[in-house]
Amino acid sequence: MVTVLHTGPDRDLATSYLTAALKHHKQADIARHLGIDARTVRRWVINQSVPQHYIFGLQRLLPLDTPFEGEAGFNYIDLFAGIGGIRMAFEGLGGRCVFTSEWDSYAQKTYAENFPGGHAINGDITQIDAAEIPDHDLLLAGFPCQPFSIAGVSKKNALGRAHGFACETQGTLFFDVARIIQTKRPRAFLLENVKNLVSHDKGRTFDVICRTLRDELGYHIHYRVIDGAHFVPQHRERILIVGFREAVDFDFDALPLPAKGQRKLAEILHKTDGSEPQLPWDGERFFNHTANRIDQKYTLTDKLWAYLQAYAAKHRAAGNGFGFGLAYPDSVTRTLSARYYKDGSEILVYQGEGVNPRRLTPRECARLMGFPDSFRIPVSDMRAYRQFGNSVVVDVMRHVAKLMHPCLDADILEPELPFRYANA
């Protein structure tokens, strides 16, 4: 797993990453990866000083088995873990994962391949007693969005009876997040969900979540919708909810977000000019290095391409916006979805006049989500498309993790006083 070799100030951390990267890559290759000239890298080596904003680029160059040295700065748990996109961000800051839960066996396979060793991956979180989960400083969860039934709550209101999150959220997966927070009382949490969570059920779902976290569990919460297009060539808006047990100096407005649209699709596409890296774990699965071309199986068949064009024309005639999304090297794509494996229609790569467009390969999907090329893809293409379509933009999570990191310092947090739950 990729973890830091040094947990000091950012500049020291960046220098440590450079030192580690030089064990695996030439200076010229590092420069090319970062988009700078080789003389700059040589100057960094001589001066032993690297600007902190290159941390994330250098981290991508490290192999997954880079050893952890020293004590972890904080412990965390990874719920609804998927393939580990959120975990990757926090491990890069020196955190140590002490518990993982993911119900899908194929996602477990990808997760285990990329985060070997340590604890076993637990399955269905609804079947796990919160008291059995290890103590932790931080809870991470990309929980699914589900509707909350209002019938029981309305009845209790009418009878003048108190109700709590167990009543309002029972039967939803958010309930399992809440019961773990209630039992373990971590210093902080980070929850991730689709943008539409805010407006789901006319805003009631999000209101229940906020009231549960803030009023019933007693956490100070902050939330923000962030578009992945700040970091990758893909529009992908997700809501992030951050909570702290104590009041801390956390502000989403302090998050440095690069301008959207600067990253283009060409950056993540396989290179056909001979510069495509040869990844031992991929072999020739996605890209033929001898012929310098993408495997032909990713090009749409005449039948599928004709169907998608006819489908789009039908909906245009009806005044609807449905249809395929043709993407070019200078494009920022639509959102990659879990259904991408069906026809790839939301992101079809243009291959020139007279040539059918193609799907992204799973390796390109990984890059589009911000995963480094060292990330292994041990499952079938269909499963890989679903996994990346359900994942997070890693660079978004890295920046939020960095913003949260100072607030996880034990020295700035007072011991928790006994907390009385709102409906105890």
Mapped onto helix, strand or coil, the DSSP state of residue 381 is helix
Longest dimension (CA), the chain: 74
Q: Do domains 74-260+392-412 and 265-389 have the same CATH topology?
A: no
CA terminus-to-terminus distance, the chain: 41
State the catalytic residues: 145
Q: Counting Cβ atoms within 10 Å, is residue 260 exposed (0-12), middle (13-18) or buried (19+)?
A: middle
Query: Which residues, 6+ apart, have CB-to-CB distance to 73 below 8 Å?
Result: 7, 93, 94, 95, 405, 408, 409
What is the model's pLDDT at position 56?
52
- The pLDDT of residue 66 is above 80: no
Q: Using a pLDDT cut of 70, give the percent of the chain over it.
A: 82
Between CA 213 and CA 375 the distance in angstroms is 34
Verdict on whether the full-model pTM lies above 0.75:
yes
Span 186-223, pLDDT tens digits: 999 999 999 988 888 888 889 989 999 999 999 999 99
* Token pair belonging to 391: 């994942």
> Architecture of domain 74-260+392-412 in CATH?
3-Layer(aba) Sandwich (3.40)
What is the model's pLDDT at position 3?
36
Query: Do 159 and 53 contact (CB within 8 A), yes or no?
Result: no
Span 362-375, pLDDT tens digits: 999 999 999 999 99
Enumerate the domain spans of the chain: 10-59, 74-260+392-412, 265-389
Span 389-410, pLDDT tens digits: 999 999 999 999 999 998 987 5
Region 292-305: what's the mean pLDDT? 96
Where is pLDDT greater, at 166 or 1? 166
- The pLDDT of residue 283 is above 70: yes
Tell me the C-alpha to C-alpha distance, in Å, between residue 58 and each of 9, 32, 70, 162, 386: 16, 11, 20, 53, 28
CA atoms within 13 A on the CB side of 276: 25
What is the model's pLDDT at position 162?
43
Closest CA to 4 of 79, 71, 81: 71
Region 5-21: what's the mean pLDDT? 61
CATH number of 265-389: 3.90.120.10
What is the model's pLDDT at position 53?
61
